[in-house]
Structures are given as structure tokens and as C-alpha cells.
């Protein structure tokens, strides 16, 4: 190859690397700005909701239910039920439960499939910014996003957003809408058992019903209530420190 061609190729590669670097820095900058805004502004829309809009299941009625409820208005029993059900180490970890991830990866490498090992922080990142599924790319993106959420938002805001954007029924987002949808009452008035039943349907709110609860939900809710009693409401105290 002639020297002139080598210089042109090297110049093109250098420009490509610079452009890629600026694209990466720009993407990170936009993401940081977005998360900073959403620390104070409740998200008007999120990726999981958009997924339902553009890819509705056949049985979906097309109706969406959502009602934002500030964290201080959500009963502690409802907050604890979700923590007890989905991520008991939520007050302790920094966004990622490395032990749970290691176990899930080992199981996947042994051919058992990629099971869920997501913390509440990771689930919030997924529901807010990513897409459904259990592919490795999405799981990989959850990790840095979880650390960013912990750093920029903190536990209290993460829990508040999760409780308001998680899907608790067909097109039913957040505990405020879920309480009205399943129990026809404000979330501030639900019992511990009703809170546990809402938490129990989170793995598949299209399949399970909080009211009337089927055998699985009843069994799962009883387990969640036992975990709530063992943890106690004081388990949530570090979230507000």
C-alpha cells in the first residue's frame, strides 16, 4: 500500500474514532441530563408503557390506567410488600446484587436458562428506559443504569418511581391505579394482605389476579406477609436516610 493511501486510511480511522467517542460522550451526557430531570419530574411516559402501546397482546382492551402517588402517600405496608417480594436486600445494595447475578449466570452457563436476578433498581431501569425480554444486551445495560440511578436518584426516589410505573394488571401501571382497579379503593386504605396480593402478581400481572386471588397468589401473598413480619417496617428506614 502506498504511503498516501496509508495516511488517508489512518486519517479516516482517526476521524471515525473521534466521532465514535463524541457520540458516546453525547449519549452519556443526554442520559445523565435525563436522569437528573427525572429525579424531580415524574416521568410522563416510560419504555414499558410504550411497549404496551406499540405491541399490545391480543387480549388487551386498549385501556391504560395510571395514577401517580407520591411515596409518602403510599402505605409503608405496600412499600414493604414489594421489597419483601422482589428485592429484600434493596436497602443494602448499591443497585446490583452481585451474589444473585453470579448464581444466575452460573445457572445460564450450565444450560438452565437466564433466570431473573434483577434488583428493584434494575427493574426500575428496565421499566423506565429499556425493553422487555431476557437477552444479554438488555441485562448488561441494566447494570450501569442501576448504578447511575442509585448515584443520581437514591433509594427513596427509585422506590417511588418503581411503585408508580410497574405494571400490576393489563395496562394498569402503578400502585395507585392498581388499588383502584383490583379493590376499588384508594391505595392509602388497603390492608397488609391486599398489599401482599398486589406484590404477588408482579411476576406476571396478565396471568395472575389480585382479586379474586387464585391458589398461586394466595400462597405467594401468605409468604410475602411472613417476610414482611420478619423484616418489619424498620427495614425501610435506610431508604430514607
| DSSP classification of residue 172 | E
Closest to 173 in 3D by CA, of 124, 228, 216: 124
Mean pLDDT of successive 10-residue stretches along the chain, which has 241 residues: 62 71 75 94 94 82 91 98 96 86 69 69 95 80 93 97 96 97 98 98 93 97 98 95 64
Q: Which residue has the cell 395510571?
A: 66
CA 122 – CA 175 distance, rounded (Å): 19
What the block records as the C-alpha cell of 127 is 421499566
23/127 same-domain check: no
69 in the same domain as 109: yes
Shared domain check, 149 and 220: yes
Looking at the fold, whether 132 and 160 belong to one and the same domain comes out as yes
The pLDDT value recorded for residue 62 is: 78
Q: Are residues 162 and 177 in the same domain?
A: yes
Residues 213 and 141 in one domain: yes
Same domain, 47 and 143: yes
Asked if residue 184 and residue 131 are part of one domain, the reply reads: yes
| Number of structural domains in the chain | 2
Range of the domain at 231: 39-240
113 lies in the same domain as 167: yes
Shared-domain flag, residues 13 and 98: no
The pLDDT of residue 181 is: 97
Residues 62 and 103 placed together within one structural domain of the fold: yes
Q: The domain spanning residue 79 has which CATH number?
A: 1.10.3810.10
The residue among 85, 71, 100, 117 whose CA lies nearest residue 231 is 85
Cβ–Cβ under 8 Å, residues 109 and 88: no
Do 62 and 10 fall into the same domain?
A: no
Per-residue pLDDT, 225: 98
- Report H helices in 66-214: 76-86, 98-109, 120-129, 136-152, 155-165, 174-183, 192-200
CB neighbour class for 209 (10 Å; exposed up to 12, middle 13-18, buried from 19):
middle
Task: Please give the model's pTM, rounded to 2 decimal places.
Answer: 0.87
Amino acid at each position: 500500500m502506498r504511503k498516501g493511501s496509508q495516511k488517508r486510511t489512518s486519517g479516516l480511522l482517526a476521524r471515525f474514532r473521534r466521532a465514535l467517542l463524541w457520540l458516546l460522550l453525547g449519549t452519556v451526557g443526554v442520559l445523565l441530563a435525563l436522569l437528573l430531570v427525572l429525579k424531580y419530574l415524574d416521568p410522563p411516559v416510560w419504555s414499558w408503557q410504550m411497549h404496551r402501546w406499540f405491541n399490545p397482546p391480543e387480549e388487551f382492551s386498549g385501556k391504560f390506567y395510571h395514577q401517580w402517588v407520591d411515596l409518602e402517600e403510599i402505605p409503608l405496608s405496600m412499600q414493604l410488600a414489594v421489597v419483601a417480594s422482589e428485592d429484600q436486600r434493596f436497602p443494602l445494595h448499591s443497585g446490583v446484587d452481585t451474589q444473585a447475578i453470579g448464581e444466575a449466570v452460573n445457572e445460564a452457563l450450565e444450560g438452565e436458562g437466564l433466570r431473573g436476578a434483577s434488583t428493584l433498581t434494575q427493574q426500575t431501569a428496565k421499566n423506565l428506559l429499556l425493553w422487555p425480554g431476557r437477552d444479554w444486551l438488555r441485562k448488561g445495560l441494566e447494570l450501569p443504569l442501576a448504578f447511575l440511578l442509585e448515584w443520581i436518584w437514591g433509594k427513596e426516589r427509585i422506590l417511588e418511581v418503581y411503585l408508580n410505573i410497574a405494571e400490576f394488571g393489563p395496562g394498569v401501571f402503578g400502585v395507585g391505579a392498581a388499588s383502584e382497579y383490583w379493590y376499588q379503593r384508594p391505595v392509602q386504605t388497603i390492608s397488609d394482605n391486599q398489599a401482599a396480593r398486589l406484590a404477588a402478581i408482579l411476576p406476571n400481572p396478565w396471568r395472575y389476579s389480585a382479586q379474586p386471588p387464585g391458589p398461586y397468589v394466595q400462597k405467594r401473598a401468605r409468604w410475602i406477609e411472613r417476610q414482611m413480619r420478619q423484616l418489619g417496617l424498620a427495614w425501610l428506614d435506610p431508604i430514607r436516610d
